[in-house]
């Protein structure tokens, strides 16, 4: 999309400014100030008697990761843990002390008045119910992504959060990364012109990458509360795979879209300020992991973003392949009219490649005399010059002492609890990322183009 002339002039001035003055990799400390919520210096110190007491519900991989990250923040202690598998409760005590309260019934945790906040790191199909119950008991919540499995659940979570006023943070932690803050700053400064396309790719070639998680030798209905686990999902006899490898089944998970694309949409919405796409189409298939799973192992998604005051219309292409022949691979790239930004986990690269203003010189078929004449006039009109002043490529990386986006995400959560600061990823933001991915799953399942209303946050007919 071409931009108005005044805007282009404004952007040129900005790009000649202080932020991009060196061609070699820069640490963030050498660049402009970070947004306030990431400012480590302003963080207040926390008195010992001022601890925030947390509990974790769902102590699998992410519950452990989240809790350990939360404990890196000053003034936070973990006092209780809940899980449906005995072995994970034993592990919780090994990790966080023998005095830790452990239970298979999360309601016992919610009844405790001395617990301020809960981490909800259960399987996707339990997110809504546990969040609603926890908010009813006045607990602040850090809810793992995808915030909910289905869009109507998201509306109930938003409503309950408004009624109760608890702090609610969704766990797509990449939005708290200083790399994404930098990408946002660069995009807003016009460094790549106006966004017209974004793409992401997550390819994996490993059993764990394809969600073939380990099943402990003692897995059985004696060690797992299977009936509770099923919850609202269809009743069925015990099957260890459906408990320990739940991502492979629509009943408990959300496929690659809910698991992985939610991160991509979260990052993109944070960087662009977008409220979401309005058209979604997906395809893919189950090609290799024929292990009983019913979700695809290749999933391609196209998301159309409409023009809004925040950004012009653009397209997003997403690709996940759990059987990638070339090994694993990760890409997240935002493309604009004057360059692109490739964003990694701890670095980004900005390339400035403006569209040429001049027509090309397809003059070989002209007579030599005519070629010379053409060139003379051409170079008079478009003098040979660098199309852009300054270096074309810049890389940024996080400082060596950066504690990471997960840490920053929890810092933001606890600051919201203590100081009333807004969270970076509230329930509305959460639904605006998982709702479109649900539409993407329906598109895959029903082989049709879906619509999404980013304002009302509803799955609608395709526009
Ligand atoms: N933010 C991220 O990058 C990230 C990464 C991985 C996982 N996640 C999310 O975290 C959540 C958990 O994923 P995981 O990989 O840790 O899964 P996991 O299988 O390792 O752990 C999930 C645990 O939830 C427990 N659980 C389920 N229902 C429960 C209930 N009603 N009460 C108590 N416990 C219950 C299970 O017993 C299980 O141990 C998922 O929603 C996933 O999408 C987020």
Domain ranges of the chain: 5-35+179-231+239-402+427-460, 40-174
Q: Report whether pLDDT(90) > 80.
A: yes
Least confident of 85-94, 256-265, 346-355: 346-355
Residue nearest to atom 23 of ligand 1 (CA): 58
Please give the pLDDT value at position 28: 37
Which residue from 105, 130, 144 has its CB within 8 A of the most atoms of ligand 1, so it is best to mutate? 144
Pocket test for ligand 1, best of 101, 105, 122 (most atoms within 8 A of CB): 122
Q: Which atom of ligand 1 is nearest to the CA of 104?
A: 33
Q: Whose CA is nearest to atom 21 of ligand 1?
A: 60
Biggest CA-to-CA distance, the chain: 91
- 252 CA distance to ligand 1 middle (Å): 10
pLDDT at 208 over 90: yes
The DSSP code for 20 is: -
Task: Report helix, strand or coil for 378.
Answer: helix
pLDDT surpassing 50 at residue 389:
yes
Among protein residues, the one with the nearest Cα to ligand 1's atom 29 is 122
- Nearest alpha carbon, ligand 1 atom 17: 60
Q: What is the DSSP letter of 101?
A: E
Per-residue confidence (pLDDT) for residue 124, from 0 to 100: 98
The predicted pLDDT at position 390 comes to 62
Residue 143: predicted pLDDT: 99
User: How many angstroms separate the alpha carbon of residue 123 from the centre of ligand 1?
Assistant: 4
Spacing, Cα 182 to ligand 1 middle (Å): 30
Whose alpha carbon is nearest atom 3 of ligand 1? 172
Q: 393 - beta bridge partners?
A: 351
Q: Is the pLDDT of residue 25 over 60?
A: no
For residue 129, how far is its CA from the centre of ligand 1 (angstroms)? 14
Closest atom of ligand 1 relative to the 231 alpha carbon: 31
Instruction: Pick the range with the lowest mean pLDDT from 99-113, 366-380, 398-412.
Output: 366-380
User: Closest ligand 1 atom to the C-alpha of 66?
Assistant: 1
- Phi and psi at 445, nearest 5°, equal -70, -40
- Read off the DSSP letter of residue 232: T
Mean pLDDT of 336-340: 93
Q: What is the pLDDT at residue 388?
A: 52
Among 104-118, 337-351, 383-397, the range scoring the smallest mean pLDDT is 383-397
Predicted pLDDT at 47: 45
Ligand 1 centroid vs 40 CA: distance in angstroms?
30
Under 8 Å between Cβ of 267 and 261: no
Pairing of strands 298-305, 279-285: antiparallel
Residue 368 contacts residue 374 (beta carbons within 8 Å): no
> Average pLDDT, stretch 295-322?
97
Q: Is the pLDDT of residue 355 over 80?
A: no
pLDDT of residue 430 exceeding 90, the answer is yes
**Distance (Å) from CA 132 to ligand 1 centroid:** 17
CATH superfamily name and code, 40-174: NAD(P)-binding Rossmann-like Domain (3.40.50.720)
Atom in ligand 1 nearest the alpha carbon of residue 172: 1
At 16, the pLDDT band (50, 70, 90 cuts) reads: very low
Atom of ligand 1 nearest to the CA of 130: 31
- Cα–Cα distance between 369 and 224 in angstroms, integer? 85
Q: Which of 58, 91, 130 most suits a substitution to test ligand 1, by most atoms within 8 Å of the C-beta?
A: 58
Average pLDDT, the chain: 89
Residue 241 has pLDDT above 70, yes or no: yes
| % of the chain exceeding 70 in pLDDT | 87
The residues, ordered by sequence, that sit 6+ positions from 54 with a Cβ below 8 Å of its Cβ are 67, 70, 76, 77, 78, 79, 115, 116, 117, 118, 119
Give the mutation target among 62, 66, 67, 132 for probing the ligand 1 site: most ligand atoms within 8 A of CB.
62
- The pLDDT of residue 264 is above 90: yes
CA–centroid distance, residue 235 to ligand 1 (Å): 20
Phi then psi for residue 257, to 5 deg, are: -65, -50
Among 36-40, 290-294, 378-382, 384-388, the least confident range:
36-40
- pLDDT band with cut points at 50, 70 and 90 for residue 359: confident
Count of residues in the chain: 463
The pLDDT-based confidence of 183 (bands split at 50, 70, 90) is very high
CA angle (271, 272, 278) in 5-degree steps: 130
pLDDT at 300: 98
Question: Taking 70 as the threshold, does the pLDDT of residue 150 lie above it?
Answer: yes
Q: Which two tokens stand for residue 393?
A: 């490529």
Reported as a single tens digit per residue, the pLDDT across 117-135 is 999 999 999 999 999 999 9
Q: Note the pLDDT of residue 384.
A: 53
Pocket (CB within 6 angstroms of ligand 1)? 57-58, 60-63, 82-85, 88, 106, 121-124, 126, 144-145, 171, 173, 228-229, 246, 259
Listed in sequence order, the residues at least 6 apart from 425 whose beta carbon sits closer than 8 Å to its beta carbon are: 169, 170, 171, 172, 175, 176, 266, 270, 409
pLDDT at residue 40, as a whole number: 30
pLDDT of 49 reads 58
DSSP string, 410-423: HHHHHHHHHH-PPP
Please tell me the distance from the alpha carbon of residue 354 to that of residue 386, in angstroms, as a whole number: 11
Tokens of 457: 């946050």
Hey, which CATH number is domain 5-35+179-231+239-402+427-460, 1.10.3470.10, 3.30.360.10, 1.10.3210.10, 3.40.50.150?
3.30.360.10
Please compute the mean of the pLDDT values over residues 228-251 and round it to a whole number. 98
Q: Is 40-174 the same fold as 5-35+179-231+239-402+427-460? A: no
């Amino acid at each position: 999309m071409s931009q108005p002339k005044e805007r282009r002039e404004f952007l040129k001035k900005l790009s000649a400014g202080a932020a991009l003055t060196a061609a070699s990799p820069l640490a963030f400390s050498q660049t402009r100030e970070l947004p306030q919520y990431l400012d480590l210096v302003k963080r207040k110190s926390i008195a010992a008697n001022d601890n925030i007491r947390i509990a974790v519900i769902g102590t699998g991989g992410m519950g452990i990761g989240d809790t350990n990250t939360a404990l890196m923040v000053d003034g936070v202690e973990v006092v209780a843990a809940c899980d449906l598998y005995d072995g994970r409760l034993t592990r919780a005590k090994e990790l966080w002390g023998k005095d830790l309260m452990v239970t298979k019934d999360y309601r016992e945790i919610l009844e405790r008045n001395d617990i301020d906040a809960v981490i909800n790191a259960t399987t996707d199909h339990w997110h809504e119910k546990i969040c609603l119950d926890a908010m009813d008991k006045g607990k602040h919540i850090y809810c793992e992504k995808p915030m909910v499995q289905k869009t109507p659940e998201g509306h109930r979570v938003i409503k309950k959060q408004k009624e109760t006023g608890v702090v609610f943070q969704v766990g797509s932690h990449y939005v708290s990364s200083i790399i994404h803050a930098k990408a946002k700053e660069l995009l807003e400064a016009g460094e790549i012109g106006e966004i017209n396309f974004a793409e992401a790719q997550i390819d994996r070639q490993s059993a764990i990458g394809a969600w073939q998680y380990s099943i402990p030798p003692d897995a059985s209905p004696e060690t797992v509360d299977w009936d509770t686990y099923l919850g609202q999902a269809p009743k069925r006899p015990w099957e260890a795979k459906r408990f320990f490898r739940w991502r492979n089944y629509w009943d408990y998970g959300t496929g690659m879209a809910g698991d992985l694309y939610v991160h991509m949409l979260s990052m993109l919405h944070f960087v662009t300020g977008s409220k979401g796409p309005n058209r979604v189409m997906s395809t893919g298939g189950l090609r290799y992991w024929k292990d009983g799973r019913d979700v695809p192992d290749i999933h391609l998604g196209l998301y159309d973003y409409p023009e809004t005051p925040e950004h012009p219309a653009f397209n997003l292409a997403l690709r996940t392949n759990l059987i990638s022949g070339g090994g694993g691979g990760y890409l997240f790239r935002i493309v604009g009219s004057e360059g692109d930004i490739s964003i990694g986990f701890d670095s980004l690269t900005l390339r400035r490649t403006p569209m040429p203003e001049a027509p090309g010189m397809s003059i070989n078929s002209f007579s030599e005399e005519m070629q010379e004449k053409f060139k003379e006039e051409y170079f008079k009109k478009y003098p040979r010059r660098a199309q852009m002043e300054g270096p074309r490529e810049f890389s940024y990386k996080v400082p060596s002492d950066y504690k990471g986006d997960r840490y920053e995400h929890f810092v933001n959560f606890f600051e919201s609890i203590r100081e009333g600061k807004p969270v970076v990823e509230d329930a509305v933001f959460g639904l605006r990322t998982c709702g479109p991915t649900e539409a993407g799953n329906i598109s895959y399942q029903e082989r049709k183009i879906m619509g999404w209303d980013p304002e009302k946050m509803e799955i609608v007919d395709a526009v």
